């Protein structure tokens, strides 16, 4: 445990300051629980008993020696008894021992013996005994008090060490990075979380200048950070630091300032959370958003360009076409008499091609408009819409024998004119591709009802198509029939697909050559 190893280190005071921050408010005043180590005599009686006993033993020994005519040993014996008493039993019993010894010496060993009366010649000896005994007692008590204080403070210190060691190891339990530095930014505490994050051990980090060790980069001038810390006692922000292996980390950092009793700042506790990954994620999101923004701007520009393109097609391509048709018509009208059959055929071909071109342009424009125009969604009755389309395409059915089977159709939410355009294309196709049937059959119905949408189908018994070309069916300018067989621009089904997709739906087809085709529209309700 680093704390214990370092306890003799001069850094220790700082470390303790640091830990104090953590335990602020949690320390309770500790009652001195010290008991003298040799106070095996807990009660006063025992202590005073010792005084009496030691004096009695001294008296016994002195009297015994007196019997053997050994004199003048009473002083050292009693002083020894007083010394023992004052040493082991404290000042009070020592005073008692001094008083009792004084009386006993007076009674047994001072002339006249066996009387408390004392001759003037014996008085100086007796007084010197009392003084000597008192001095001994006093010295002893002073010595004892010093020892007791020493013991007490050692005990307190030991307890403190235990508590702080526990706290320090608690801080070490956390994976959060915690370290403490003094006001000169010298690191004084470094927990396990700090070691895990930065790769420096406590031994390596403590005593180092924190900004130099970690190459801290501040988002604002350090003076501002210091000013805020000193005025509010705390600071929070994101810092960039460097690990022992040289990699950079971004941390969310919180600083707390500790002040001493006088109010002057003494230490800074800093906790760090590694937010490098989060920052990287944020940065990525920001980059992606920016890319998305750029892409949107690009798309908008492309869309504008497309619109301008469509506009110029609409205006500029139509004009020469009109002139071609116009002047050819004038030619046909004014010069028909001088043009032979072949010439008239050429004129007809020019006119037909020009008209076809006109239709192509119109279809293409309609197709591009679907992508550009905003949808205006309302509740649309498909049944009503089919009826309208049927009446619109009646010209195409003239002279034809067509059996219509129109089942009940749902209402749905969508752009009416777009949906109508889709139906016009599909129904016109059905009419067109059943042309060769003497008995054409066109069925429009609702195939199934998925939970949140409808599937409508348009089925015919026309020429159908080969399923291996099904992918080409909905492409722009993709045609599965030659123009002589069936006229068309190859834009109709592409338009249908675009409309249905803009409604969030899907379109697909099934068919076989000679047996007809079925087109399905799946639309959200």
Alpha-carbon span 415 to 374, nearest angstrom: 9
Q: Which lies closer to other proteins via its Cβ, residue 384 or residue 417? A: 417
Coil, helix or strand at residue 522 = strand
| Coil vs helix vs strand at 464 | coil
Residue whose CB is less far from other proteins, 297 or 359: 359
Q: Min. distance of Cβ 404 from other proteins in angstroms?
A: 31
Site string for other proteins, 365-384 (x = CB under 8 A): x-------------------
Write the DSSP symbol of residue 437: -
Instruction: Note whether 321 binds other proteins by CB under 8 A.
Output: yes
For the CB of residue 490, give the shortest distance to other proteins in the complex, in Å.
20
How far apart are the two ends of the chain, measured CA to CA in Å?
A: 71
Q: Which is nearer to other proteins, 307 or 383 (CB)?
A: 307
Q: Find the binding residues for other proteins in span 84-143 (CB under 8 A).
A: none
Say if residues 18 and 178 touch (Cβ distance below 8 Å). no
Question: Structure tokens of 419?
Answer: 């949906």
**Residue 443 binding other proteins, by CB under 8 A:** no
Minimum CB distance to other proteins, residue 354 (Å): 8
Tell me the Ramachandran region of residue 178: left when phi exceeds 0, alpha when psi lies from -120 to 50, beta otherwise: beta
Q: Please, are residues 183 and 266 in contact by the beta-carbon 8 Å criterion?
A: yes
Nearer to other proteins, 327 or 477 (CB): 327
Residues 268, 257: contact at Cβ < 8 Å?
Answer: yes
Of 159, 259, 287, 322, which lies in the binding site for other proteins, with binding defined by CB under 8 A? 322
Give the Cα separation of 373 and 508 in Å (integer).
Answer: 24
Shortest spacing between CB 417 and other proteins, in angstroms: 12
- Count residues near other proteins (CB under 8 A): 19
Please state, in angstroms and rounded to a whole number, the distance separating the CA atoms of residues 188 and 297.
55
Q: Tell me the two tokens of residue 184.
A: 């000169």
Question: What gap in Å lies between CA 202 and CA 191, rounded to an integer?
Answer: 7
What token pair was written down for 235? 């600071």
Instruction: Give the tokens for residue 281.
Output: 């994620």
Judged by CB under 8 A, the residue of 40, 114, 262, 315 near other proteins is 315
Which listed residue (111, 224, 305, 316) binds other proteins by CB under 8 A?
Answer: 316
- Binding residue for other proteins (CB under 8 A) from 311, 346, 413, 477? 311
Task: Decide if residue 355 touches other proteins (CB under 8 A).
Answer: yes
Q: Which is closer to other proteins, CB of 329 or CB of 510?
A: 329
Helices (H), 393-491: 394-397, 416-433
423 contacts 444 by C-beta, under 8 angstroms: no
CB of 286 to other proteins, least distance (A): 37
Q: To the nearest whole angstrom, how small is the minimum distance from the Cβ of residue 316 to other proteins?
A: 8
Helical axes 416-433 vs 382-392, angle rounded to 10°: 50
Reduced 3-state DSSP string for 492-520: HHHHHHHHHHHCCCEEEEEEECCCEEEEE
Give the binding range for other proteins (CB under 8 A) out of 29-37, 216-224, 310-318, 432-440: 310-318
Q: How far is the CB of 496 from other proteins (least distance, A)?
A: 21
- Least distance from other proteins to the Cβ atom of residue 392, Å: 19
Query: Contacting other proteins (CB under 8 A), which of 161, 325, 339, 406?
Result: 325
CB closer to other proteins out of 299 and 330: 330
16 or 314: whose CB is closer to other proteins?
314
Pattern of binders to other proteins over 328-347, x per CB under 8 A?
xxx-----------------
Task: State how far the alpha carbon of 481 is from the alpha carbons of 58, 431, 434, in Å.
Answer: 142, 15, 13
Contacts with other proteins, residue ranges (CB under 8 A): 311, 314-316, 318-319, 321-323, 325-330, 354-355, 358, 365
């Amino acid at each position: 445990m680093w704390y214990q190893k370092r306890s003799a280190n001069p850094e220790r005071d700082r470390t303790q300051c640091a830990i104090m921050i953590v335990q602020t408010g949690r320390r309770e005043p500790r009652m001195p629980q010290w008991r003298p180590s040799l106070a095996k005599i807990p009660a006063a009686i025992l202590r005073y008993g010792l005084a009496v006993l030691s004096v009695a033993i001294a008296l016994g020994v002195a009297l015994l020696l007196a019997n053997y005519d050994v004199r003048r040993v009473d002083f050292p014996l009693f002083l020894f008894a007083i010394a023992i008493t004052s040493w082991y039993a404290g000042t009070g019993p020592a005073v008692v021992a001094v008083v009792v010894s004084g009386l006993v010496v007076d009674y047994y060993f001072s002339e006249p013996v066996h009387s408390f009366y004392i001759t003037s010649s014996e008085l100086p000896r007796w007084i010197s005994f009392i003084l000597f005994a008192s001095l001994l007692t006093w010295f002893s008590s002073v010595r004892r008090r010093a020892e007791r204080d020493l013991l007490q403070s050692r005990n307190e210190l030991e307890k403190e060490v235990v508590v702080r060691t526990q706290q320090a190891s608690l801080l070490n339990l956390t994976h959060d990075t915690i370290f403490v530095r003094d006001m000169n930014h010298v690191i004084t505490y470094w927990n396990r979380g700090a070691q895990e994050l930065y790769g420096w051990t406590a031994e390596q980090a403590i005593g180092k200048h924190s900004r130099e060790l970690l190459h801290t980069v501040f988002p604002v001038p350090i003076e501002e950070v210091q000013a805020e810390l000193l005025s509010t006692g705390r600071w929070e922000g994101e810092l960039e630091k460097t690990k022992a292996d040289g990699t950079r980390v971004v941390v969310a950092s919180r600083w707390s300032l500790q002040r001493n009793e006088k109010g002057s700042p003494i230490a800074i506790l800093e906790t760090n959370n590694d937010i490098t990954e989060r920052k990287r994620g944020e940065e990525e999101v920001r980059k992606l958003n920016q890319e998305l923004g750029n892409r949107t701007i690009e798309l908008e520009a492309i869309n504008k360009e497309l619109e301008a393109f469509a506009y110029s097609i609409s205006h500029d391509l139509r004009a020469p076409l009109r002139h071609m048709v116009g002047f050819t018509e004038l030619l046909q009208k004014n010069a028909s008499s001088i043009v032979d059959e072949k010439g008239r055929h050429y004129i007809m071909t020019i006119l037909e091609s020009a008209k076809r071109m006109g239709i192509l342009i119109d279809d293409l424009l309609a197709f591009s408009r679907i992508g550009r125009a905003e949808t205006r969604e309302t509740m649309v009755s498909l049944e009503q819409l089919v009826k309208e389309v049927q009446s619109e395409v009646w010209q195409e059915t003239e002279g034809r024998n067509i059996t219509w089977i129109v089942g009940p159709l749902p209402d749905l939410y969508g752009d009416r004119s777009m949906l109508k355009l889709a139906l016009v294309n599909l129904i016109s196709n059905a009419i067109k591709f059943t042309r060769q049937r003497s008995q054409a059959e066109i069925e429009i119905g609702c195939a199934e009802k998925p939970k949140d949408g409808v599937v409508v189908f348009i089925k015919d018994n026309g020429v159908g198509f080969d399923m291996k070309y099904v992918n080409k069916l909905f492409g722009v300018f993709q045609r599965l029939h030659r123009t002589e067989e069936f006229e068309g621009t190859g834009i109709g089904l592409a338009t249908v697909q675009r409309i249905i997709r803009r409604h969030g739906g899907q379109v697909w087809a099934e068919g076989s050559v000679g047996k007809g085709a079925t087109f399905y529209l799946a639309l959200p309700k």
